[in-house]
Structure 1
């Protein structure tokens, strides 16, 4: 399985001797799957086909599908407006005793505007069914092309996500080296804080001092945060390699990444570690922006 984006576009054209049609599909990111359909009046079955087929190829995204149809050839025939012709015949009979005139001829009656009408020749059911089947086939092709477009975009998102994960892993290792290389700075900070406790609270027992020192040391320890960051990077890479509908799970991991980066910043004992923590937060936010588009 591959990583797919929720963004894509596809267009499919078709036609026969009487009509041409164009299918279009647009897809953008969304929390769930929302399919919107616009087809010409009288083509409700095609709308049903869209709504039944789209969920089989897409699991997330706001998808809009439209169909436009144009006639290329109109088969016309003449038709007599029997109601108007009957009225004219009745009038000539009623007026023949009042008006001294020859009786109207048939060609004269047919020449009266509205008696002869040009109407479109009805199409047989077989031709309509064949056209509808062709439209459905083009619809499936359209959805397949939309999926291909989403997969192509997903490949690009995969590559960008991998780069962000590599940067998170690098910054995590840099934070680990920074914290390990400054034990003396941490001890000096503890000495100063213990001295402040002694000055502000006379008679403080050695046991209480040990407790305060242990508390300060635990607050400054970022090993757990760094280990969790490593675990989250591994989990995210496994999701990307597995593919499929992984967007929601990656979004959750981004929240966990951000939580650990915030904790690291709050525990930072020097400017260098704070800088690393802020860089981590920025990289995580960039990763989250890309993850928002993954299906």
Structure 2
């Protein structure tokens, strides 16, 4: 499977004490770069999450958000901390004995006193299995989204490869004839310029020039590189760096083709090829 470095997934699970959510999203990066946004109570899970994500991802700037929203307790589940309430009552009486004008504690202030409802805290350590299980589900969706995007990119790249093959097939048969006509013109100009120069001298100059404008080798290497692009796409996996290297090689051959061009057809073919290569390069930057 070909994967894009762009992906998104979010998973939510309702638990007895609240709602757990994990969100994954990624963009392009030369390397695998993690950024965690984890609630402080679950910070100990950052390393296990990093290890889990690393088993399935190899490139991209990945952001992982883990949040837990505690559910509000129902009134019938709440029990006052009698000892704390008695202590507050005694302390309030002592304060008012010393400061008669002091306002008594209101019901609202009393109920909001830390620990008034006993131990209502959440055992976040016990949430660890739930977090990791939900992370695996989110990772499945995340890699699937990257795979779908990668499939679209692969189709686009293959379309450009086919377009480049069409250009090569169209221009290759015309090159020998065009070059022959061009060398004939060159021979005539040399005869006119050199006057009584020997035929050997003219033939030598024409042969040297014919070698300089021969693009058969460039066209052959272009076809070989295009074959390799298709092979890499079929093989799948993390192939972005390999394909990026192939784009450099294709661009080098297209540039050489243009620099050696002696006819308009080859010059235009070189420009068309470079445009298609650039289009592929832009999309390959998104591949893992």
Q: Deviations over 1:136-171 (max 9, x none)?
A: 110111111111111111111111111111111111
Partner Cα separation in structure 2 for residue 113 and residue 156 of structure 1: 59
Residue from 181, 186, 189 that aligns with 2:185? 189
**Equivalent residues in 2 for 1:253-264, closer than 5 Å:** 253-264=246-257
State the 1:247 CA deviation: 0.6
Residue from 146, 149, 156 that aligns with 2:145? 149
- Which stretch of structure 1 is more off in the superposition, 264-273 or 142-151? 264-273
Partner Cα separation in structure 2 for residue 94 and residue 35 of structure 1: 58
Q: Which residue of 1 aligns with 2:5?
A: 6
State the 1:267 CA deviation: 1.5
State the 1:260 CA deviation: 0.8
Residue from 136, 140, 143 that aligns with 1:140? 136
Partner Cα separation in structure 2 for residue 111 and residue 184 of structure 1: 103
Matched, 1:180 2:176: yes
Query: Quick check: which has more Rg, 1 or 2?
Result: 1
Q: Which residue of 2 aligns with 1:220?
A: 213
Q: Which residue of 1 aligns with 2:234?
A: 241
**Equivalent residues in 2 for 1:84-99, closer than 5 Å:** 87-88=91-92
Partner Cα separation in structure 1 for residue 166 and residue 96 of structure 2: 100
Q: Which residue of 2 aligns with 1:105?
A: none
Are the structure 2 counterparts of residues 124 and 70 from structure 1 closer, same or farther at C-alpha, using a change threshold of 3 Å?
Answer: closer
- Which stretch of structure 1 is more off in the superposition, 254-263 or 86-95? 86-95
Q: Which residue of 1 aligns with 2:80?
A: 78
Q: SS state of the match for residue 174, structure 2? A: helix
Preserved contact between residue 191 and residue 197 of structure 2 (Cα < 8 Å): no
Preserved contact between residue 78 and residue 118 of structure 1 (Cα < 8 Å): no
Preserved contact between residue 38 and residue 46 of structure 2 (Cα < 8 Å): yes
Are the structure 2 counterparts of residues 151 and 88 from structure 1 closer, same or farther at C-alpha, using a change threshold of 3 Å?
Answer: closer
The CA RMSD over aligned residues, in Å, is: 2.9
Give aligned pairs, total.
278
Q: SS state of the match for residue 41, structure 2? A: coil
State the 1:49 CA deviation: 2.2
Q: Which residue of 1 aligns with 2:45?
A: 46
Structure 1 alignment gaps of length 5 or more: 100-108
Are the structure 2 counterparts of residues 190 and 71 from structure 1 closer, same or farther at C-alpha, using a change threshold of 3 Å?
Answer: same
Are the structure 2 counterparts of residues 179 and 94 from structure 1 closer, same or farther at C-alpha, using a change threshold of 3 Å?
Answer: closer
State the 1:259 CA deviation: 0.9
Preserved contact between residue 178 and residue 273 of structure 1 (Cα < 8 Å): no
Q: Deviations over 1:54-90 (max 9, x none)?
A: 1110101111111222111336443426775554565
- For normalisation by structure 1, the TM-score amounts to 0.83
State the 1:115 CA deviation: 6.3
Are the structure 2 counterparts of residues 115 and 170 from structure 1 closer, same or farther at C-alpha, using a change threshold of 3 Å?
Answer: closer
Q: Which residue of 2 aligns with 1:282?
A: 275
Are the structure 2 counterparts of residues 76 and 272 from structure 1 closer, same or farther at C-alpha, using a change threshold of 3 Å?
Answer: same
Preserved contact between residue 5 and residue 26 of structure 2 (Cα < 8 Å): yes
State the 1:129 CA deviation: 4.0
Q: SS state of the match for residue 245, structure 2? A: helix
Partner Cα separation in structure 1 for residue 246 and residue 2 of structure 2: 16
Q: Which residue of 2 aligns with 1:104?
A: none
Q: Which residue of 1 aligns with 2:22?
A: 23
